[in-house]
Amino acid sequence: MWMIILFAVQITLIHTAGIYLRYYSFEEQFSPAAKASLWKNIFLLSLGFVGVYSLAFSNTGITVAGYKTALLFGWLPYQYFLMKAIPRQLLHHIFVISMSLLWSFIIHSLSCVILAIFFMDYAAGEVLQAEACIYIIFFLLLLPLSRYFFKTLLPTFSLFTRHRVRIYIAILPFIMTVGYVAMISDRTLWHSWEERLARLLLPVAFVFTYHYIMGTAKQIYEQKRLQHNKSIMKQELLYLEEARLLAADNKNQVEKQLKGILEIYGQLRQLINRGDIEGAKAYIERQEEKLSSGAILPYTDNAIVNAAISIYLNRSKNAGIEIIPKVNLPNDMKTNENDLSVLLANLLENSLLACAKEQQPRQITLILQHNGSQCVLEIANTFHGNLKLGEDGLPKSSDSGHGIGMLSLRTFLKKYNGYADFSCENGWARITIYWEDKLPC
């Protein structure tokens, strides 16, 4: 009886090893309390399985069919607790399950090779117990490699943002797993060396080839991300240079106005002496327009955000487009100023390009508000054309600068847990963005 109990413990340890690898892929998403709850449930489930397996094998004996049945279906209750702890990530779970089962098949195939060398003359029960023991040993020996492998699974999987591609990435190893299960679902204890090697090499080739492909995809993504960051930095430098030139122009205007201040006072004195109060008021208004023309206005305490808004306010005026800004941001805003200014500049650039093609009247409205922990940015412009929308509901266009704007927007939304809504109706194109005002990740 103690041999049966030991065998039940071995199978339970195999299930625990599998759930550990799958858990390790999601580890960063767990809080300390959630980790403790998950492993408490797994511990209680393991105790129950030891009892169930002990009772089952004491009645049927240690058989090949019973052993394979326990391995093929016993992991499902463990997975239930993991999926309950990490809900709404079905494709992630399918992908990790498939890869963990393929990894398990590799270790079982290695164990069978050892059995074929040293345990050919032993009874079936002893062979199965030896296989379970060898599996656990191989699992521990390969644990450093498997931990690294499963640690990098989901970060790479998350790079594929298109839903159809994600389905393909998740389903392909699952189909491979189903095919492998069909190969081993029999009551045969000993197989030929050709079958043993095939069952070992097939999942090994698939797992490591798949991992290489995913790694290559990650490298391509990183290259594109670096290129995107480079273009953003270059664009930001251009905006800052334009802001510097605008500030220098303001300084020159102020210097000119200071030089002529005596003349201004003289003109006002003459108008007042003549009793022409209305003329004096009109003169003052003209001077105020000169002072405000091209100025970098203090919309916020953030110099870069102010520069971005002021630059496009000035560009719009030069293009004959009316732009109406309404900005209200707090002094202690947590959103990174560079992220917000780049987003503003790109979206205003897109809006300006689209509005410039319209007939009069041409207008752009900018609303940037902060409400507690939430921020909202709305940019609208007159537009009567047709726009193609992407799968995410945002416009896509071949116009210069537009692709960078949408890529910048997607990056911003992902970083600040935000979402965007786009509409094009009644002669207006409008994009509204909501995000959490938090420190960037």
CA distance 346 to 35: 42
Q: What is the distance between the terminal CA atoms of the chain, rounded to a whole angstrom?
A: 55
Identify the pLDDT of residue 229: 66
* Per-residue pLDDT, 207: 79
Spelled out in words, what is the top-level CATH class assigned to the domain 300-441? Answer: alpha beta
One DSSP character per residue, 88-122 reads S-HHHHHHHHHHHHHHHHHHHHHHHHHHHHH-TTS
Q: Which residue has the tokens 């799958």?
A: 22
Would you list the DSSP string of 312-326?
A: HHHHHHHTT-EEEEE
User: Residues 6 or more apart from 116 whose CB is under 8 A from it?
Assistant: 190, 193, 196
Q: What pLDDT shows up at residue 403?
A: 47
Determine contact, residues 61/125, Cβ cutoff 8 Å.
yes
| 297-328 as b/e: b if 16+ CB within 10 A | eebbebebbbbbbbbbbbbbeeeebebebebe
The structure tokens listed for 282 are 């009109």
For the chain, which residues score pLDDT lower than 50?
Answer: 292-295, 400-403
What does DSSP assign to residue 17? H
Nearest-angstrom CA–CA distance, 242 and 247: 9
pTM: 0.54
pLDDT at residue 236, as a whole number? 61
Q: Smallest Cα–Cα separation from 345: which of 305, 385, 292?
A: 305
What is the rounded CA–CA span in Å between residue 404 and residue 398?
A: 11
pLDDT for the residue numbered 70: 93
Question: Tell me, what's the pLDDT at 248?
Answer: 63
Mention every residue, 6+ apart, whose C-beta is less than 8 A from residue 105: 177, 180, 184, 199, 203
Q: Provide the H-helix boundaries in 142-192.
A: 143-151, 153-157, 163-184
pLDDT of residue 219: 74
Quick one: pLDDT at residue 244? 64
266/245 Cα distance (integer angstroms): 32
Tokens 């992407």 locate to 390
User: What would you measure as the largest C-alpha separation in the chain, in angstroms?
Assistant: 124
CA 22 to chain centre: 20
Q: What region does 264 belong to: left with phi over 0, alpha with psi -120 to 50, or beta?
A: alpha
All structural domains of the chain with their residue ranges: 2-226, 300-441
The C-alpha atoms of residue 68 and residue 62 are separated, in whole angstroms, by 11
Say whether 359 sits in a helix, a strand or coil. coil
With contact defined as beta carbons under 8 Å apart, do 306 and 410 qualify?
A: no
User: Residue 400's pLDDT is what?
Assistant: 44
Q: How far is CA 3 from CA 45, 51, 62, 65, 132, in A?
A: 21, 13, 10, 18, 13
Cα distance between residue 151 and residue 102, in whole Å = 16
